[in-house]
Structure 1
Amino acid sequence: MALEDELSCTVCTEFFRDPVLLGCGHSFCRQCINLHWAVSSFRRCYICQQVSPQEPVSNLSLRNTCESYLREKNTRTESSGGHECSKHGEVIRLFCQTDGKAICVTCKKQEHNGHKTQLLQQAVKQHKGKLKAEIRPAEKTLLSLQNGTALDNKISKYIQSQTQMTERTIRTEFEKLHQFLRQEEESRISALNEEKKEKGDKIERRIQDGIMSLSDRVKEVEEQIEDDDITFLKNYESIQNRAKYTLPDAELSSKTLIDVPKHLGNLKYQVWEKMKDICPYYPVILNPNTSLPDFSVSDDLTSVTSCLFQQDKHNPFPQHRNCVVLGSVGYTDGTHTWEIEVGNNQYWSLGVCLGSVETSDVYTLTPAKGFWGIRRFGSLFELMNAQISRLKTKGNLEVVRVKLDYRCDEKGRYWYVRFFDAGNDYLIAEFNAVPGSKLFPFVIPEDLSAPLRIVPANITLTVEQKLPFLERHLVIIMICLCFVMALMFLILAWLIERHNR
């Protein structure tokens, strides 16, 4: 059996027929290797995948060896009568297609009478052909994996592209933060140096004034000491008073020094609070993995635009036909509000949908298909339901507010979905009793080069103020005091009544 394996082609698994030799040293049937190359974009060896640019040459030695072995094998088979039926002792020459068994002529006449049969060699050839046909998809898949054309290879390349793009965006965003922090640092150090200069100059002026005043005083006393004796003694007390004179003590206070708390007090908090202006919070982040190739999602994942041409790097996963771009987070409970800037776009759709629509093909966007939303079609505003109901708006609708409320009452668990004109807080449409499943925001941009944008939310920072114990519990204390006084009044009234009896 080992020798037969050496004399068999690895492609067709049969003895070599017109074997040829490749440059890598492997041999195949001429027809087999030609068929293999016909479905491949490169002339690679079936075994080692080495490229064979030269035409294969006939392997005469291998062909002669195969022919000799087959002749010897046929001689042995003829002399031994081939495989014999264990029941009738006859050579097995037939194959029963009905039972799928190799049989002899007597078996066909007895146990397999009326069954559909064929020659054994013909059955073997047909079964090998079926196996080759069945293994061909696996061979094509193997070839696509080796050539890098399979879906997994495309996904791997797309992941690399996503990683590079995301890394560039992260570095860009952090560079903005670093630049802000550097500017803030320079601004605060500059303010510190200005205060230092102001207060230092004030001290320096006082020092210079003191030097000039004392220098004049010393010089004057020294000159009077040199007066004649009579004049000196006559003016002694006056000179003495002048000699004793010193500068008055400076009125020092903490304001004379650097106002350190002004520069360091809650420094990180104050910087963080100022960063709100360059760090907006978006209540909804779009998921670019749900976007079609002809959609462009912004780097910060807050806007999407319909483009005329497909993007260079698009998602290899097949998307549904509705061009839906989903939010990255789904909601299962609570209250959620977000606003979408539609501007002057004439064609768009938005709302909420079930997460299952990401991998499904939905032709109509209705509640029955898992969509609850509104759309604009030219000058018409429509509710996305089975009847496509018309909607009324006040003024020009530029920003749509979506409010999602999860409710639990006697009706059960459900969502209450409402749509408002954010400009005047006018209720446009609502859906009640939406099934209590996981809902995702969605948008569909249809105007070319006109984006739909998520509006950043207003963030308010509050600092908790801890009140003294009495202030925090004043109401409770007052209630307790009233209760005690009422109880004492009742006891006193009872005692008086008892005393009167």
Structure 2
Amino acid sequence: MALDDELSCPVCTEFFNDPVLLSCGHSFCRQCINDNLSLSIFRKCPVCQQASPQPPVPNLSLRDTCEAYLREQNTRRESSGGQECEIHGEVIKLFCQTDGKAICAKCKRHEHERHKTQPLQQAIRQRKGNLKADLRPAEKTLWSLQNGAAQHNKISKFIQYQSQMTERSIRMEFQKIHQFLKKEEESRIVALHEEEKEKGEKMEKSIREGILSLSGRVREVEEQIEDDDITFLKNYPRILNRAKYTLPDVELSSQTLIDVPKHLGNMKYQVWEKMKDICPFYPVILNPNTSLPDFSVSDDLASVTSCSRRPDEPNAFPQHRSRMVLGTVGYWNGVHTWDIEVGNSRHWSLGVCLGRSRIPITQSLTPANGFWGLRRDGDSYRLIDFRMSKVKMRGNPELVRVKLECGRDRRGMGQWLVRFFDARSDKFIAYIDEVPGSELFPFVIPKDQSASLRIVPADIILTVDKKLGFFDRHITVILICLCVFMIIFMILVWAIQRCKTCTSG
């Protein structure tokens, strides 16, 4: 280290490059001293500050010494494979476990005297072994990806399967709509043709009757024209009246022509209104991506059944996922109601829970895990609340209504009230209050094999906004004005009678 300092320029602190000597005896790199002297008026030495009137001269001895030292350093570095200590210049043969760095023997005796060390090659073997062990999972995943055995490939195949099944369901649903529209179209065209036939037959009947009436009159007039002159002249006025007679003009009206408004008026709206029977609205849509493979969710995403999964059916879900199906949409506030048809199933659970990201994959149905609901196990009913309260039931409801209402507690914090009813008899079953005001999702869990739980379609009432007339829009104001007028009129009548009584008195 001392030799390196001796062979270094005091200005740039690097090894001398083309060293020169000043009259004071100090040496510098030629470029460094030229730059320094050009900035100094008195041409002083940067080290001793003595004036140097003479220009610097080359220091050939120092230049040769620096070049020889650098060649020796390079030779030593090449022979040691570049593993020399930058501080002491010795070959690095140790590894300091305390500081995590490679050191030489002198480093061990000075800076790392009390540190835990080990031979360098041993440390390298250990760390290479550790790296290979840590690399094995990545290599295994890479092999799985390359050979189609990774979970990513299973998910990719399942996405393709989902796409095919969803496309099939979409086509089936639209086929139902097309069949309904085709049937509705044909029935309306049949009704149009029936009206056309009915009114056409009426017109043909009227034409036949007119032909018969007019042909009889024409023959009668022609026959009377051939009468003798006296008889003809005698009956001429009557013959003239019968000759002038013609059929009355046909009255053009809805009874005569096709009733076009009946067939085309609000036709699309009327068809849409009829489509409620084949296009039900479900207040809760089940999400099949939250279910197990042994749960079968219907094509309309309104019912779920516990069943056995076919071995050849693609599966992207781990077997340890929770045995439930969540609703697609979560609720933050407001009032929400939906009915679930449980039928004669004796084992099921339903209610609300926190979103999938807020609850663990495997868990028991408890409020601590984010579940609140109603559960049936045979003849026993229990609330899923902090007390797991037992519910006394009169009969077994086949249609359970869940009503979710958002409110505030005493501190003004949001909270939910969950109530359950027998939807058939509209009887109250039980309630759960003080449910935290987070986003809640409906959930259902069918437990009986081949017994389904189904969301019941909601009743949709179609209304038409009517434009009100002036009287309808201002009925309240008009009534108030009439009342005020009557009161004023009665006051005036009373005042007049009062004046008359005072005058007569």
* Category of TM-score, reference length = shorter chain: 0.7 to 0.9
Task: State whether residues 304 and 454 of structure 2, in contact with CA within 8 Å, keep that contact through their aligned partners in structure 1.
Answer: yes
Q: Is the alpha carbon distance of 1:194 and 1:427 closer, same or farther for their aligned partners in structure 2, counting shifts above 3 Å?
A: same
Residue 309 of structure 1 corresponds to 309
Deviation at residue 307 of structure 1 after TM alignment? 1.1
Partner amino acid, structure 2, of 1:297? V
Residue 372 of structure 1 corresponds to 372
- Partner Cα separation in structure 1 for residue 90 and residue 389 of structure 2: 83
- Partner Cα separation in structure 2 for residue 123 and residue 95 of structure 1: 7
State the secondary structure of the residue aligned to 1:461: coil
Q: Is the alpha carbon distance of 1:233 and 1:409 closer, same or farther for their aligned partners in structure 2, counting shifts above 3 Å?
A: same
State the secondary structure of the residue aligned to 2:336: strand
Q: Give me the identity figure in percent.
A: 65
Q: Which runs of 5+ in 1 are unaligned?
A: 1-75
Residue 211 of structure 2 corresponds to 211
Q: Counterparts in 2 of 1:270-349, with a 5 A limit?
A: 270-309=270-309, 313=313, 316-318=316-318, 322-349=322-349
Residue 65 of structure 1 corresponds to none
- Partner Cα separation in structure 1 for residue 254 and residue 188 of structure 2: 21
Q: Is the alpha carbon distance of 1:320 and 1:436 closer, same or farther for their aligned partners in structure 2, counting shifts above 3 Å?
A: farther
Task: State whether residues 280 and 457 of structure 1, in contact with CA within 8 Å, keep that contact through their aligned partners in structure 2.
Answer: yes
Deviation at residue 486 of structure 1 after TM alignment? 6.0
Structure 1 residues 178-233: Cα deviation after superposition (integer angstroms, max 9, x where no partner): 11111101111111111111111111122122223333433444455456667666
State the secondary structure of the residue aligned to 1:254: coil
Residue 391 of structure 1 corresponds to 391
Deviation at residue 371 of structure 1 after TM alignment? 1.3
Q: Which moved more, 1:474-483 or 1:397-406?
A: 474-483
State the secondary structure of the residue aligned to 1:256: coil
Q: Counterparts in 2 of 1:319-468, with a 5 A limit?
A: 322-356=322-356, 359-361=359-361, 363-408=363-408, 410=410, 412=412, 413-468=414-469
- Partner Cα separation in structure 2 for residue 186 and residue 244 of structure 1: 48
Q: Is the alpha carbon distance of 1:247 and 1:85 closer, same or farther for their aligned partners in structure 2, counting shifts above 3 Å?
A: closer
Residue 134 of structure 2 corresponds to 134
Structure 1 residues 80-126: Cα deviation after superposition (integer angstroms, max 9, x where no partner): 35544344443333333333333333433444335444433333333
- Partner Cα separation in structure 2 for residue 493 and residue 210 of structure 1: 74
- Partner Cα separation in structure 1 for residue 315 and residue 487 of structure 2: 76
- Partner Cα separation in structure 2 for residue 136 and residue 111 of structure 1: 37
Q: Which moved more, 1:141-150 or 1:224-233?
A: 224-233
Task: State whether residues 154 and 315 of structure 2, in contact with CA within 8 Å, keep that contact through their aligned partners in structure 1.
Answer: no
Task: State whether residues 77 and 84 of structure 2, in contact with CA within 8 Å, keep that contact through their aligned partners in structure 1.
Answer: no
Task: State whether residues 289 and 315 of structure 1, in contact with CA within 8 Å, keep that contact through their aligned partners in structure 2.
Answer: no
Structure 1 residues 450-486: Cα deviation after superposition (integer angstroms, max 9, x where no partner): 0011111112222233433333333333335545776
Structure 1 residues 277-330: Cα deviation after superposition (integer angstroms, max 9, x where no partner): 111111111111110111111110111111133675465244765412111111
Residue 172 of structure 1 corresponds to 172
Q: Which moved more, 1:321-330 or 1:115-124?
A: 115-124
Residue 60 of structure 2 corresponds to none
**TM superposition score normalised by structure 1:** 0.75
User: Larger Rg: 1 or 2?
Assistant: 2
Task: State whether residues 292 and 321 of structure 2, in contact with CA within 8 Å, keep that contact through their aligned partners in structure 1.
Answer: no
Aligned residues: 423
**TM superposition score normalised by structure 2:** 0.75
RMSD: 3.2
Q: Counterparts in 2 of 1:27-176, with a 5 A limit?
A: 80-82=79-81, 83-176=83-176
State the secondary structure of the residue aligned to 2:194: helix
Q: Which moved more, 1:95-104 or 1:288-297?
A: 95-104
Task: State whether residues 394 and 426 of structure 1, in contact with CA within 8 Å, keep that contact through their aligned partners in structure 2.
Answer: no
Residue 255 of structure 2 corresponds to 255
Deviation at residue 256 of structure 1 after TM alignment? 0.8
Q: Which moved more, 1:297-306 or 1:319-328?
A: 319-328
Q: Which moved more, 1:284-293 or 1:357-366?
A: 357-366
Deviation at residue 388 of structure 1 after TM alignment? 2.7
Q: Which moved more, 1:418-427 or 1:117-126?
A: 117-126
Q: Which runs of 5+ in 2 are unaligned?
A: 1-74
